[in-house]
Amino acid sequence: MWCFFQLVYMPMSYLYSKRCVIPINPLILHLREEIHTQPYNKIIWRKVRHLCAKEDLYFPHLLIQDLVWDGIYIFMEPFLTHWPFNKLRERALETTMKHIHYEDKTSRYVNMASLEKVLCMLAYWVEDPNGDYFKKHLARLPDYIWIGVKLEVPLKLCN
């Protein structure tokens, strides 16, 4: 379980740290309408930071935990974007990308799971949309889909 968590979190943290966003298009607008219960442009994000569906909340957050997370977000996030801490962030991003490269080289760009495959492809696209690593991921998509189908059937039978 730890291995899977690490492999999914690395590209996700890279994308978050790079502040990756895509242009708004009709698909994005439709998804926002489908996902959120109120209009997207009227959501006050700092007020809904701790909202969670009761089915997804395995352990209720303590007030102190919410205060710590809010404090980190409000005070540390802007602080870490200035020198010398932005250099530390850049170094962490480089290290994260090295780990992603290592995982992709050892798996021959097939990756362990569908979520990891998509996130790694996005991370490479953010790094360089015309780069070789992104193209290597694209080249392995047909293989991945076939291998993924072959692997998912036995996994579902085991559950």
97-146 residue pLDDT tens: 999 998 888 888 787 777 788 888 889 998 888 989 888 888 888 876 66
Q: Return d(Cα 147, Cα 141) in angstroms, integer.
A: 10
pLDDT of residue 149: 52
Q: What is the pLDDT of residue 91?
A: 92
- pLDDT digit string (tens) for 81-96? 788 888 888 899 999 9
For the whole prediction, is pTM greater than 0.75? no
- Asked whether the beta carbons of 124 and 134 are under 8 A apart, the reply is yes
pLDDT at 154: 42
The pLDDT mean for the chain works out to 82
Give the tens place of pLDDT for each residue, 35-84: 888 899 999 888 888 888 888 888 888 889 889 988 888 888 788 778 88
Let me know: does 51 contact 126? Beta carbons within 8 Å: no
pLDDT digits (tens, 9 = 90+) for 144-153: 666 555 554 4
